Amino acid sequence: MNTRRDGVHIDEAAISESLRRGAKYSTLQVRDILTKATGLGGLEPDEVAVLSDISDPELLGELFHTARRVKELIYGNRLVIFAPLYVSNLCCNECVYCAFRVRNRLVKRRALSQEEIAREVKHLVEQGHKRILLVAGEAYPNEGFSYILKSIGTVYATTSGRGEIRRVNANVAPLTVDEFRQLKDAHIGTYQLFQETYHRETYGAVHLGGRKADYQWRIDAMDRAMAAGIDDVGIGVLFGLADWRFEILALMQHIAHLEERFGVGPHTISVPRLEPATGSDLAAHPPHAVSDIDFRKIVAILRLAVPYTGIIMSTRETAEIRRETFALGVSQISAGSRTNPGGYSEGEAFDESQFSLGDHRSLDEVIRDISELGFVPSFCTACYRLGRTGADFMELAKPGQIKEHCSPNAIATFQEYLEDYSSPETRRIGEAVIEKELGAMEPRLRATTERMVRRVREGQRDVYC
C-alpha cells in the first residue's frame, strides 16, 4: 500500500489487483484464512479480498461461525447501547443521497436551542440512556462551531432524577486541528466521521457542493483529530454508493495509515446502508445495493480483519437484520433512535429526518429482545473516564483481555438499567441473563462482578472498574 505521510492515500489500483487475485481462491485457501483469523491478529488485504468473493453456502457458514468465535473471544456477548442526538439539520453541502442536502426544499430546517437540547437529553435519560452520539449537519447557527461545544456542555449538565448522560461521542463535520483540540477539551469520547465512499469518482459524483465535496479534506480529518489528541476515532462507509468489496479494502488502507502514523487504528467502524431519505431518488435506488447476505458478509469480514475494533449497527436496519448481525461481529447498537432534531421530545418527523429508520422500537423493547437472545446490554462508559482509550484500549482489546474489564461493567450498568428504567417483563428477563452470565464467569471475575451488582442493588449508581 502506498501511504503518504502528508495525508491518506487510497491506492485504487492495489485494491483492484487484490480483488482480481481474490477471485481465484481455493476452498483450502479460505479455510487457512479463517484459521489464521482465530489467532486475533487480523487479516491482510488479499485475504479480505478472498473472503469477500466467497458464495458457497458451506464456506459462508464457516465464515459466519469464525466471526462469531472471534467476537466472543474479544467482546464476549455484550452489546453497547447508545442513541444519536440530532441537534441540527442545517447543512451547506449538496450530498445527493442525504435529506439534509442544502438544496432540498422538502426538509424543514431547524437547529435546537440549548433549552430544546436539554429537553431532548432529559427524555433520553428518562429512557435509561447513558451514552449519546451528538450529530449535526455541516452548518451551524450564527455562533458557528461554538454551538457544538455549547451543546456538548448542555448534554453533560442535564440530569433527571438519578440519571445522566455519562459520555458524549460526536459526529460533526471535519474540523481544523485547533477545533479538534477544543472538541477534546469538551470531553467527548469518540470522534466519528464517515468517508461515505472511498471511491474518488463516485465521491465526486455524489458530493456536488460544499466543503464536503473536498475528498482529501474529509479523508484527512482523522489525522487532524488524532494530531489534536483525540485518542478514539470512528470511521465508516455508507454502503450502497460503490462496490462494497472495494470499500472494505479501502477501509483497510485507511486503518493501515492510522496505525502507521499514530500507532493505533479506529476505535469503531460503522456499517450503514443507504436508506430512503426525503428528496433523494438515489437513496431510494442505491447504485450498488447491498443484499442482506452481503451485508452479513461485510460484518463478519470486518470482525475478522480488524478484530479489536468495535462495529456499530444503527437503527437504519430492521430488527431482524440487527439480530442476525449481533453474533457476527456487531458490538455497539443504537436503540430507540430518532434522526430529526427534537425527535425524542416531540416525536419522529420524516420531513425533518436524515433518513428513514428500519427499527422503530423503544429502548426497553430493544433491551428485552437482545436479552432474550442471550446478549448483555451495556451502558458502560468506564473506559473513557479511566483513560482506557487509544493505544491503552488496544493493548487490552487486541489479545482479547478487554472483556475482563467490560464484562463486569456491562453487567453492573445493565443492573442499573433494570433497577431504574425497565418494564417488569424486561427486568425479569434481564435478571435471568445476569444470573446466567455470573454463573459462567471464572471465580475471581465473578466475585468482582457480584460485588458491583450488589452495590447497584443497594442503591449505588455509576459503579465501574
What per-residue confidence (pLDDT) applies to 3?
38
Q: Is residue 258 part of a domain?
A: no
CA distance 17 to 1: 11
Predicted confidence at residue 403, as pLDDT, reads: 65
CB of 302 within 8 A of CB of 271?
yes
The answer to the question of residue 113 being in a domain is no
User: For position 400, what pLDDT does the model report?
Assistant: 58
Q: Tens digit of pLDDT for each residue in 409-424?
A: 999 999 999 999 999 9
Give a yes or no: residue 242 inside a domain. no
Please tell me the predicted confidence (pLDDT) of residue 355.
73
pLDDT of residue 390: 64
**Cell numbers linked to 167:** 459520555
Establish if 129 belongs to a structural domain: no
Whether residue 418 is contained in a domain is answered as: yes
**Model pLDDT, residue 161:** 93
> In the Cβ-directed half-sphere of 104, how many Cα atoms lie within 13 Å?
28
Residue 224 belongs to some domain of the structure: no
Q: Residue 78 belongs to what H/E stretch?
A: strand 78-88
Residue 412 lies in a domain: yes
Give CA–CA dist 324/43, Å, rounded. Answer: 23
Q: Which pLDDT score is estimated for 453?
A: 97
Structural domains of the chain, count: 1
Residue 445 lies in a domain: yes
Predicted pLDDT of residue 359: 84
The residue segments making up the domain with residue 405 are 401-457
User: Could you tell me the mean pLDDT of each successive run of 10 residues in the chain, 465 residues long?
Assistant: 66 97 94 97 97 96 97 90 96 95 94 98 98 95 94 98 96 97 97 98 98 98 97 96 98 97 95 91 94 97 96 91 93 93 88 79 96 95 72 63 79 97 98 96 94 96 91
